[in-house]
Structure 1
């Protein structure tokens, strides 16, 4: 790597780090506000909040890195052009493709970061976040039970506990379930305990009631059925508002599993082959898109001449092009997820970005539109 390559790629990486830090902070604060309200209002402590936000960071960073790479390239090249450093580099005989080499090196570094995040860190963090969320939902169920208060943990659910002993026993329990419009059931028990079943067999937190009675009212014919019991287990998964069994999110799986998309993976996620393959190829395509964006930005900037006002028109054109290409990505997503074998559509926006950047660099080799001082006298 030559001196100019090290200098320009180093400058771009420095700007990239700064803009990434700013954008991640903005994105994280926006996400953290809603998460803070959900967790703290649900009785969780600040450590749980920090744990959840840390697990969400890889996904946030992966979304931000391509944008940071584009902004860093636009800002860095524009600044070098404004300070005539690019002009000096061109007058020394460096061709447009030679000038593009450090930008390609920078794009490769960004693509490598996105690949690590997409293939390793983000799936692992999503999986850990889902498991931790399931555990938290069970813990929240226990916090629904407060001594001497009528609690409404969900629509149609009312819980009252007269006393909670130091051993965790619930004395004087009342539980009413009105979620079904046809049936209303009220449970009363002398005492009860919370039992967490083995999660490997699909169990969640259960409320085991002793020496109680269940009153079931049929709302249609107003028929009341009363049943006494010595012990009765009530599944609190419904009370917490979550299902007992959880299907895996495809984004939690490894890339080989997604690309393979066999029957086991489809059953595990409840998603068909087309969507699984799309998720797998999307991870590769995102890295390619992050690699191509800096080259495209350089291509647009090299179309402009020197100006005291900067290259704002070229910068605007590059931003508009990036937005359009991202919109094409959304269209490609719809098409790829809707048909088996349509995964190749995932790469179309990334390849178009790479082709556009290469085409603009090639166009600048003709000379008249290259970065140089214009006007002003000899």
Structure 2
């Protein structure tokens, strides 16, 4: 590797890291604020909210990495051209293909990073996130430990807690059970406690009153109790069994499912092929976007006004590539046998970049012909 290649590659890596850090920070903060508010308001601790946001980082990094690589390539290439460094290299006889060598190496480095994130880190994070979401959704203790507000754990049940002491004592408890329209029961008590035995959760109320209204007979009965236990375990049950998401499945398991593995009984071949090929397509995209950004800017010549037409064309190519990838993903979901369509946009972008580099190198050869003929 020449000094220019090392210099070019270092600039690309530094700028890519900077753009990735900024983009991940912007997306992560905007998503973390709403997630923190929702989890903390439901009784979860700040550590649980931080864990949830950390588990979304692989998805965010995968999303912004191609954009960061593209922006780094365009920015560095434009700066080298504006400072005449690229012009000097072309004047010394270096072809656009020769100058693209550090860009290709940079794209391969980004591809290796995306392969690690997409094929391993993101599925593992999604699997852990789904498990933690199920735990939080079924944690009735956390849902009930909110004082000063009306809560609705399930449809037809309303709970209100006036104050929660440090030792866990619940004060001024109100519970209304309207799940059976013909029999509405309302419990009030001065104090209550949450008791757990295995998977059973009970709300033990003391010094309270139970009001039972029979809507059919239009009667109201009042019962004063010294202590009463209300089983709330049923509130944590779900009407349907949770199916493990395909995004959290290991990549090797998805590959095995295409040939009739265990997942083929849970998901269709279209869903499996779409998820597997979508993961693999990110690897080629990282190479394609860097080459598109570099080759498009190489079409322009030195100008004091910059390379604005080429910059606009490069961003248009990036948007077109993402649009074709979205269309290909939907197509593969309905036609799993044509899985190669998912990789066609990336391959098309690479081929288009090669054509742009050939066009950019042609003026050099044309200028060299007269000097050769005179010799």
- Determine if contact 2:96/2:357 at 8 Å carries over to the other structure: yes
- Determine if contact 2:82/2:302 at 8 Å carries over to the other structure: yes
- Determine if contact 2:201/2:231 at 8 Å carries over to the other structure: no
In the other structure, the counterpart of 2:370 is none
Query: Matched residue of 1:336: which SS?
Result: helix
- Determine if contact 1:176/1:184 at 8 Å carries over to the other structure: no
Q: Residue 234 of structure 1: CA displacement?
A: 3.7
In structure 1, distance between residues paired with 2:314 and 2:193: 65
Q: Residue 172 of structure 1: CA displacement?
A: 9.7
Distance 1:164 1:324, change over 3 A: closer
Q: Residue 324 of structure 1: CA displacement?
A: 1.1
In the other structure, the counterpart of 2:273 is 277
In structure 1, distance between residues paired with 2:32 and 2:146: 28
Distance 1:323 1:249, change over 3 A: same
Distance 1:185 1:254, change over 3 A: farther
Q: Residue 139 of structure 1: CA displacement?
A: 3.6
In the other structure, the counterpart of 2:335 is 339
With normalisation by structure 2, the TM-score equals: 0.81
Distance 1:9 1:142, change over 3 A: closer
The more displaced of 126-135 and 17-26 is: 126-135
Q: Does 1:312 align with 2:308?
A: yes
Q: Residue 343 of structure 1: CA displacement?
A: 2.1
In the other structure, the counterpart of 1:80 is 80
CA deviations 1:297-330 (Å, max 9, x no partner) are 1110110011112111101101011101111111
Query: Matched residue of 2:88: which SS?
Result: helix
In structure 2, distance between residues paired with 1:20 and 1:158: 45
CA deviations 1:130-161 (Å, max 9, x no partner) are 22222223345444156797643454321357
In the other structure, the counterpart of 2:144 is 144
In structure 2, distance between residues paired with 1:179 and 1:14: 60
In the other structure, the counterpart of 2:11 is 11
Say which one has the larger Rg.
2
In structure 1, distance between residues paired with 2:31 and 2:230: 44
Distance 1:185 1:257, change over 3 A: farther
1:246 to 232, 238, 242: 242
Query: Matched residue of 1:365: which SS?
Result: helix
In structure 2, distance between residues paired with 1:286 and 1:196: 48
- Determine if contact 2:296/2:311 at 8 Å carries over to the other structure: yes
- Determine if contact 1:42/1:140 at 8 Å carries over to the other structure: no
In the other structure, the counterpart of 1:101 is 101
Query: Matched residue of 1:158: which SS?
Result: strand
Gaps of 5+ in 1: 199-204, 371-378
Q: Does 1:237 align with 2:236?
A: yes
What are the residue-to-residue correspondences of 1:202-241 with 2, within 5 Å?
206-207=201-202, 234-237=233-236
In the other structure, the counterpart of 2:225 is none
Q: Give the length in aligned residue pairs.
A: 355
In the other structure, the counterpart of 1:375 is none
Q: Does 1:265 align with 2:267?
A: no
CA deviations 1:258-302 (Å, max 9, x no partner) are 1222452245xx431211121111111111101111111111011
With normalisation by structure 1, the TM-score equals: 0.80
Q: Does 1:123 align with 2:123?
A: yes
Distance 1:209 1:86, change over 3 A: same
CA deviations 1:6-41 (Å, max 9, x no partner) are 111111111111111111111111111211221222
Distance 1:147 1:11, change over 3 A: closer
Structure with the largest fraction of helix = 2
Q: Residue 104 of structure 1: CA displacement?
A: 0.1
- Say what the alpha-carbon RMSD is for the aligned residues: 3.5
In structure 2, distance between residues paired with 1:293 and 1:60: 18
The more displaced of 171-180 and 102-111 is: 171-180
